[in-house]
Structure 1
Amino acid sequence: MRVHHLAALPLAWMLFCPPATAAGDSLTVLCASSGTEQALCHHAVDGWSRMTGTTVRVLPLPSDWGAVLPLYRQFLSARTSVADVLVLDGTWIGALSPLLLDIPPAAEDARTLPHPFTVGKRHVALAWYRDIGLLFYRRDLLEHYGLAVPTRWDDLQRTAAAIQDAQRRAGNAAMWGYVWQGRTGESLVCNALEWFGANGDALVSTDGTVHADTPAMRRGLGRAAGWVGTISPPGVLTYDEEAARGAFQSGHAVFMRNWVYAWALLNDPQSPVAGKVGVATLPRADGAGDAPDHAPDNATGVDGTVYLGIARNSAHPIQALSLLRYLTSEEVERHQAVAGAYIPARMTLLDDPSIMGAIPILRTLRPALDSPILRPIAATGIDYPRVSWIAANQFQQALRGVTTPADALGALASALGGLSQLGRWDSANRPTLPSSTIQDHTP
């Protein structure tokens, strides 16, 4: 899940008013507005276009990804195709799955992690690149005070408080211990799931059972509420990824939770903390992995994989599938990793020397990439945006002290229980969506 903050041209105008000179058999691909991602997307698309002789138009998405899902719903529901291949944040796929074309399975799918995104029994998206929640820390400060990188949330709390207090005594009054994403939204849901751990506390399990109020979740949410105003600034409840990065990169925080994209920006030669930053997997929830009767809980970061899919109303499904397979090929993933530090989904590439050289933190990331925390997107399907909205609001209420963690999680469990009945999330009763395959579109 990259953070996209560069301006984009008005997408709706370009989609619904395509150039008059566009060829009738051309394809349209939607990529993010990030300059790096646009460049990589153009490079890959140009390679496929040269091989096939098919014209491809690449358009940028709006810079505010919150505006993309409604826009996608609008043009994917149209009778005529306005786009063929589109980049998909993982959180959108459940909601958009009825509007996406089925992707025929291939042997190479087993070599990627995550595997093709599946809703019901339909493969509707392929992983394009990986992302994962990480802990960034001031390596110089931990070394100065002789403290270890925390591996549990309680350890982080103690270490953050110790360094924050020592720095303030030394005259750095602006120092805080830990910054993260507390604004009501998807990023807060990611943070909360990381506080809870991966021992069955993922809000909704794969079989549709609601797990939204457990002792581990109450402990995690209560602990985080105690951070606000102590080791985290009160304003953290308005922070998104960029606000947290700004505080950390300016030298005003010891620890930060963020995505992989932050690494390059923090180490830019102009960054005040360049060369002073370390990265680690996020701390584990207390008790995770301690019981002798189950395997250690290695899952600490939420998966932020970005996918590619095909519009169900595409006029060129066979060509779109060919392009999709090329964009997720080993050749393209290798180039994206070396040129743009995008983590490949193909597991064999994670050990490639050239890629490890381009992404030096990859060795540190591997434990988190191998067993990420997954949001209940596939389990809740088209209801996931509402699930996320309800969860983020209840978490925010508890963090602000408006209600207790127990009451917030109880209300969340009740709300999700009602949604689960309406949405029939349980796998035994979940309705099967009508599939639309490449063969259905073959002349």
Structure 2
Amino acid sequence: MKRRLSVFLAGCALILSSGVRAKNLTVFCSSNGAEMALCASETQAWAHMTGNTVTLVPLPSDWGAILPLYRQLLSAQSPMVDVLVMDGTWLGTLAPRLGIIPRAAADDDLTPGPFVSSGHDVALPWYRDVGLLFYRRDLLEKYRFPVPQSWDELGAEANAIQKAERARGDSALWGYVWQGRTAESLVCNVLEWFGPEGGTIVSGDGQITLDNGVARAAMKRAAGWIGTISPSGVLSDDEEAARGAFQSGHAVFMRNWVYAWALANDPQSVIAGKVGVAALPREKASDPPRGVDGTVYLGMARNSPHPEEALSLMRYLTSPEVERERVVRGAYIPARRALLNDPAVLTALPVLSTIRTALARPVLRPVAQTGTDYPRVAWLAANSFHQTLSGQQDAAGSLRRLSEIFEFMARRGRWSESRAGEDVLEEKTQ
């Protein structure tokens, strides 16, 4: 590693000494304060090393507005962007507009692997995420409950603790908060409820696997949470709304991403030191722990005027040294498998030892199978799921109608033939 870094620095010095004009790269990064600060320090460090400059552009806070923005930017003849931070669900749609990334030996350590479109790598995983269960450790200990391993166990424990605490005067406490808003986050929750036997909307070979007994039972069970262990307002909640309720001490359990760990344990948090995190419950306790994959990627514009510099920056940002520092400073899960055993990483993010089982078998959304159709697939699924949970449709009819729509889309888009073969999101075991 030291030798590769030395070679890289030597190459930078050669570029500068040869009189090559410095380039200015435009990089789109998250508008989140902590992540923007990391983006700024990381990109400026690269700029200082190479003699180039970086203009950092904050993304809209509403991630639903970013994909249309990216489409517009990447379709321009003279793009206003060189390097992009991308949610994994956008890859199928954006892949035709992304530049080719030459494969490197170091990419074998990245999990999931680079996103492949038409036989070429077009995006590198930057940091990982996975759906997790957060719980009030103090309340589970108080009532002598174990961490729930199945959804039925979670329901029983949430109900018992909620009832007991309300009897003691905490009328604002709920058993379980999650993301029920009509959005991508609801799709994540539902896929986690289904489990391995409940289908994944679209299977790896492009087949529709949504309409089955396990999926129907999972939807009915979740609909039964509304008004019992989950407030009715959960149907309009996103990640931050759920975190707000949990971090304010108003929930026993919460489904969220790893970012909530550091915030819940902030010294200003009323539940600091009282929080536990685990893999999500399953349909059956014997099922392997799973959570939806939330990996964030880096890619470059296909017609970037600075492709060599953009590639250099992406290689720097995904290097072991930078990913290790990102864990230490921001508690981000590294995309490099080797870092999962790094002492500095485990010290900075001790929950890694608990959630590694979930990271090993992530639930992948059907981005690769559906390609450019995925945004519509997710929109249709989220609307149908929300109508079922809110009581506007029954689970059986909703899943059947949704499956019929997807069957038509699959035939028209030839998901089982072209999409499954062209766009690949490589899965690797930890």
TM-score (norm 2): 0.91
Q: Structure 1 residue 165 and structure 2 residue 155: aligned?
A: no
CA distance in 1, matches of 2:420, 2:162: 50
Query: What's 1:193 paired with?
Result: 191
Look up the equivalent residue of 1:393 and give its one-letter code: N
TM-aligned CA deviation for residue 120 of structure 1: 4.3
CA distance in 2, matches of 1:416, 1:55: 46
Query: What's 2:16 paired with?
Result: none
Of residues 215, 227, 230, the one that matches 1:229 is 227
Query: What's 2:343 paired with?
Result: 353
CA distance in 2, matches of 1:335, 1:279: 23
Query: What's 2:372 paired with?
Result: 382
TM-aligned CA deviation for residue 229 of structure 1: 0.7
Q: Structure 1 residue 262 and structure 2 residue 260: aligned?
A: yes
Look up the equivalent residue of 2:408 and give its one-letter code: G
| DSSP-derived class of the 2:417 partner | coil
Query: What's 2:301 paired with?
Result: 311
CA shift digits 1:151-200 (9 cap, x unpaired): 00011011111111111111211111101000101000000000001347
The 1:194–1:313 alpha-carbon spacing in structure 2 relative to 1, beyond 3 Å, is: same
Look up the equivalent residue of 2:394 and give its one-letter code: T
CA shift digits 1:6-27 (9 cap, x unpaired): xxxxxxxxxxxxxxxxx88321
| DSSP-derived class of the 1:373 partner | coil
CA contact 1:127–1:345 (8 Å) conserved in 2: yes
Of residues 387, 394, 398, the one that matches 2:384 is 394
Gapped runs of 5+ residues in structure 1? Answer: 1-22, 290-296, 434-443
The 1:424–1:299 alpha-carbon spacing in structure 2 relative to 1, beyond 3 Å, is: farther
TM-aligned CA deviation for residue 201 of structure 1: 1.1
How many residues end up aligned between the 2 structures?
Answer: 403
Query: What's 1:110 paired with?
Result: 108
TM-aligned CA deviation for residue 110 of structure 1: 1.2
CA contact 2:117–2:422 (8 Å) conserved in 1: no
Of residues 37, 40, 53, the one that matches 2:51 is 53
Of residues 116, 120, 123, the one that matches 2:121 is 123
TM-aligned CA deviation for residue 254 of structure 1: 0.7
TM-aligned CA deviation for residue 336 of structure 1: 0.4
CA distance in 2, matches of 1:166, 1:299: 29
Task: Indicate the percent of aligned positions where both proteins have the same amino acid.
Answer: 60
TM-aligned CA deviation for residue 241 of structure 1: 0.7
| DSSP-derived class of the 1:217 partner | helix
Look up the equivalent residue of 2:209 and give its one-letter code: H
Query: What's 1:280 paired with?
Result: 278
CA distance in 2, matches of 1:337, 1:24: 30
CA contact 1:424–1:431 (8 Å) conserved in 2: no
CA shift digits 1:107-138 (9 cap, x unpaired): 11111111111234332110110111110111
CA contact 2:210–2:399 (8 Å) conserved in 1: yes
CA distance in 1, matches of 2:366, 2:307: 29
CA shift digits 1:365-420 (9 cap, x unpaired): 11111111111111111111100000001101110111111111111101111111
Query: What's 2:399 paired with?
Result: 409
CA distance in 2, matches of 1:430, 1:243: 36
CA distance in 2, matches of 1:328, 1:393: 36
CA contact 1:181–1:236 (8 Å) conserved in 2: yes
The RMSD of aligned alpha carbons is: 1.6
CA distance in 2, matches of 1:432, 1:311: 19
Look up the equivalent residue of 1:190 and give its one-letter code: C
The 1:432–1:152 alpha-carbon spacing in structure 2 relative to 1, beyond 3 Å, is: closer
CA shift digits 1:239-258 (9 cap, x unpaired): 11111111111111110001
Query: What's 1:368 paired with?
Result: 358
| DSSP-derived class of the 2:125 partner | strand
CA distance in 2, matches of 1:81, 1:283: 44
Query: What's 2:182 paired with?
Result: 184
CA contact 1:198–1:299 (8 Å) conserved in 2: no
Of residues 418, 422, 428, the one that matches 2:412 is 422
Look up the equivalent residue of 1:79 and give its one-letter code: Q
Of residues 201, 205, 208, the one that matches 1:207 is 205
Of residues 323, 328, 334, the one that matches 2:318 is 328
Higher percent of residues as helix: 2
CA distance in 2, matches of 1:269, 1:241: 21
**After superposition, where does 1:39-50 map in structure 2 within 5 Å?**
39-50=37-48
| DSSP-derived class of the 2:111 partner | coil
CA distance in 2, matches of 1:83, 1:143: 51
Of residues 235, 238, 241, the one that matches 1:240 is 238
CA contact 2:198–2:215 (8 Å) conserved in 1: no
**After superposition, where does 1:58-137 map in structure 2 within 5 Å?**
58-137=56-135
CA distance in 1, matches of 2:191, 2:117: 21
The 1:350–1:197 alpha-carbon spacing in structure 2 relative to 1, beyond 3 Å, is: same
CA distance in 2, matches of 1:428, 1:260: 34
Name the stretch that deviates more: 317-326 or 420-429.
420-429
TM-aligned CA deviation for residue 47 of structure 1: 2.2
Look up the equivalent residue of 1:70 and give its one-letter code: P
TM-score (norm 1): 0.88
CA contact 1:356–1:363 (8 Å) conserved in 2: yes
Q: Structure 1 residue 253 and structure 2 residue 251: aligned?
A: yes
Look up the equivalent residue of 1:178 and give its one-letter code: Y
TM-aligned CA deviation for residue 204 of structure 1: 0.7
CA distance in 2, matches of 1:98, 1:135: 36
CA distance in 2, matches of 1:130, 1:97: 19
CA distance in 2, matches of 1:214, 1:103: 40
CA shift digits 1:69-125 (9 cap, x unpaired): 111011100011211110001111111111111212111111111111123433211
Query: What's 1:338 paired with?
Result: 328
Look up the equivalent residue of 1:46 and give its one-letter code: Q
CA distance in 2, matches of 1:236, 1:429: 35
CA contact 2:130–2:292 (8 Å) conserved in 1: yes
CA distance in 2, matches of 1:299, 1:271: 28
CA distance in 2, matches of 1:262, 1:430: 34
TM-aligned CA deviation for residue 430 of structure 1: 6.8
Query: What's 1:5 paired with?
Result: none
Look up the equivalent residue of 2:354 and give its one-letter code: T
